[in-house]
Amino acid sequence: MYNKKVMSHFLHPHNMGEIKNADGIGKAGNIVCGDVMQIFLKIEKDTIKDIKFRTLGCAAAIATSSVATDLAKGKKINQALKIKDEDIIKKLGDLPSIKLHCSLLSVKALREAIYNYLSKNKLPIPKELESVHKKNKKELSIAKKKHGKE
Amino acid sequence: MKKIYLDNAATTPVAEEVKKAMEPFFSENFGNASSLHSFGREAKRALEISREKISKKLNAKNYQIIFTSGGTEANNFALKGVASLTSGKHIITTKIEHDCVLNTCKWLEKQGFKVSYLPVDKEGFISLKELENAFRKDTFLVSIIHGNNEIGTIQNLEEIRKICARHNVYLHTDACQSFCKVPIDLKKVNVDLITINSHKIHGPKGVGALLIKEGTKIEPILHGGGQENGFRSGTENISGIVGFAKAIDVIKDKDIKNMEKLRDTLIKGSLEIENSYLNGPQKNRLCNNVNLRFDYIEGEALILQLDSKGIATSTGSACSSKSLEPSHVLIAMGLRPEQAHGSVRLTLSKESTIEEVKYAIEALKESVEILRKISPFKNVQ
């Protein structure tokens, strides 16, 4: 079902763990659906100096978290915001179509973490990011209503 | 790397003696059982000997045995075949049937039939009282799985049969997982229709049977040359049927006892893991079934971790691994979706050993620990 690259990221994920006193924390997904992702950022001079993740989910969710954090590490914030789920899929070779949404989750969690950093530091938030955040928040609250918990 | 197969509810390896019994029926005795010449007669003879053997195994003197392509076809045949001759409108089944029964019921609903899906308790048993209450004037069929494929619950067929008999309604049971693992005496249990199959008992894939009690009104669903007494057209799969009949002797009483022991060892060892739980019952459970649930992790990831250590397991029904939905059986038992997602099924065979079970327990401990390190819930509260 999964290719070697996905399996290797799943069995040996990069950037796994958390950052104490992180500058930004983002979360995406929903435990009811089986996938939850958390991303932690350490930011210096607009650059992602360090990034870590924790994920509860299937092999694809863990592998995409690993790749997404690899892609974001060392990037300027505005560059990291440009990472798309296609970039993650491309990096992994391919994903079963039923698992494509997992790559979306890691992009979401990353953007949420950046949003969290910008808003905490009262920095200007790009319009697009603002709307992505609103959408994500709405989705979470729908899931919360539907299942009674996040 | 050691390879350990613990997915025997999905399918089993074909036993050597079964392969040997089948061998002559590929190129030597390859005849069509409908042919009049000696080749055909030889095939027909093998077919009838096989039928007789299976009949004896189940004490099924007053049953017709109709060979099918497997459990799915036999279950489709039972439900659609009875539905097409009835004047009734209502079927009773359970929420924990195999997909081939559930999806046949859904199809029948589209044809205008009504179906009641009985709930189960937290161990996976139906309530006889709820069964009793589900009957309507137009109920014509009850279909209840004997041994559940995911959680191993063995329903009380005799009691269920008594209730159905009182209402004068046919009872069908899907015994694919329990056949040859739980003694079934049809003279005693007396169900009207029973599905069995071959590849769960070390026989070949592609063969199963529906046993139909004399007098049961049922229409064929496959039409053609009128084989199997007109009930199932299509040239008989002689090698497969011979293999099936041979396979019924593969699992011995001592194997069942051994599997039970290994099952209990596996359960006990696995439950030493923090925040782990057994899905399904302690008693009246299939001798080879273990289904476990672990907090903070996801089942597919666990299966792939175990696979990387050489252990083959599954998340419940192998068929459902194509979908992202949590197992309908676990949900019916009252598990929340996130609990159902964190479950894994390990199923033993007569070939399983204590060494394999011990290795599996260690691998489970390691795998769960690895995934919990990755998971946010065990770490960040």
Under an 8 A CB cutoff, do B304 and A10 touch? Answer: yes
Distance from CA of B4 to the nearest CA of A (A): 19
Nearest 5 degrees, angle CA B99-CA B307-CA B201? 50
Nearest beta carbon to residue A34 from set B308, B338, B379: B338
What is d(CA B329, CA B98) in angstroms, rounded to the nearest whole number?
Answer: 9
% of chain B at pLDDT higher than 90: 93
Using alpha carbons only, how large is chain B's radius of gyration in Å? 21
Burial B208-227 (b: 16+ CB within 10 A, else e): bbbbbbeebebebbbeeeeb
Nearest beta carbon to residue A16 from set B323, B374, B380: B374
Q: In what order do the strands lie in the sheet with B90-94?
A: B63-68, B208-213, B193-197, B170-174, B139-143, B90-94, B114-118
Q: Using one digit for the tens of pLDDT, what is the confidence trace for B271-330?
A: 999 999 999 999 999 999 999 999 999 999 999 999 999 999 998 655 555 667 889 999
Q: Using one digit for the tens of pLDDT, what is the confidence trace for A40-85?
A: 999 999 999 999 999 999 999 999 999 999 999 999 999 999 999 9
**Please, are residues A37 and A53 in contact by the beta-carbon 8 Å criterion?**
yes
Q: Using one digit for the tens of pLDDT, what is the confidence trace for B3-29?
A: 999 999 999 999 999 999 999 999 999
A110 touches chain B (CB under 8 A): no
Architecture of the structural domain at B16-247: 3-Layer(aba) Sandwich (3.40)
B112 touches chain A (CB under 8 A): no
What's the CATH code, domain B4-12+251-379? 3.90.1150.10
Structural domains of chain A ordered from first start: 4-147 (3.90.1010.10)
ipTM here = 0.90
Q: Using one digit for the tens of pLDDT, what is the confidence trace for B355-373?
A: 999 999 999 999 999 999 9
Nearest 5 degrees, angle CA B150-CA B376-CA B309? 50
> How many Cα neighbours within 13 Å face the side chain of B113?
27
Distance from CA of B14 to the nearest CA of A (A): 25
Taking one residue from A and the other from B, the number of pairs with CB-CB distance under 8 angstroms is 62
What is d(CA B326, CA B328) in angstroms, rounded to the nearest whole number?
Answer: 6
The pLDDT of B59-63, averaged and rounded, is 97
Stronger pLDDT, B220 or A105, i.e. the higher one: B220
A115-123 contacts, C-beta under 8 A, 24 or more apart? A115/A24, A115/A26, A116/A24, A116/A25, A116/A26, A117/A23, A117/A24, A117/A41, A117/A43, A117/A77, A118/A24, A118/A77, A120/A23, A120/A24, A121/A23
B308 touches chain A (CB under 8 A): yes
Q: Which of B100, B164, B287, B319 is catalytic?
A: B319
B110 touches chain A (CB under 8 A): no
Reference B125, options B149, B96, B150; nearest CA is B96
Nearest beta carbon to residue A32 from set B338, B375, B379: B338
The pLDDT value recorded for residue B355 is 97
Structure tokens at B125: 């048993």
The pLDDT value recorded for residue A56 is 93
Torsion, Cα B370 B373 B378 B381, to 10 degrees, reads: -170
B381: pLDDT confidence band, cut at 50, 70 and 90?
very low
The pLDDT value recorded for residue B262 is 98
Distance from CA of A72 to the nearest CA of B (A): 19
Predicted confidence (pLDDT) at residue A142 exceeds the cutoff of 80: no
The pLDDT value recorded for residue A143 is 67
Under an 8 A CB cutoff, do A11 and B305 touch? Answer: yes
Non-local (6+) Cβ contacts of B189 within 8 A are B157, B158, B161
Under an 8 A CB cutoff, do B376 and A56 touch? Answer: yes
Under an 8 A CB cutoff, do B374 and A62 touch? Answer: yes
User: pTM for the full model?
Assistant: 0.93
Q: Which residues of A touch B338 (CB under 8 A)?
A: 31-32, 34
B236: pLDDT confidence band, cut at 50, 70 and 90?
very high
In chain B, which ranges are continuous DSSP H helix? 16-22, 24-27, 38-57, 71-83, 99-110, 128-134, 157-166, 186-189, 238-247, 253-270, 299-308, 328-332, 337-341, 354-374, 376-379
A25 touches chain B (CB under 8 A): no
Q: Which residues of B touch A38 (CB under 8 A)?
A: 376, 380
Beta bridge partners of B194: B173, B211
A36 touches chain B (CB under 8 A): yes
B380 touches chain A (CB under 8 A): yes
Predicted confidence (pLDDT) at residue A104 exceeds the cutoff of 90: no
Least confident piece of the model among B159-168, B251-260, B320-329, B330-339 = B320-329
Beta bridge partners of A43: A48
The pLDDT value recorded for residue B319 is 53
B319 is catalytic: yes
Chain A interface test: which of B293, B295, B298 (most A C-beta within 10 Å): B298
A142 touches chain B (CB under 8 A): no
Under an 8 A CB cutoff, do B296 and A56 touch? Answer: yes
- Give the SS3 label for residue B167: coil
Nearest beta carbon to residue A58 from set B300, B377, B380: B300
Residues of A with a catalytic annotation lie at 33, 102
A112 touches chain B (CB under 8 A): no
What is d(CA B8, CA B20) in angstroms, rounded to the nearest whole number?
Answer: 21
- Per domain, the residue ranges of chain B are 4-12+251-379, 16-247
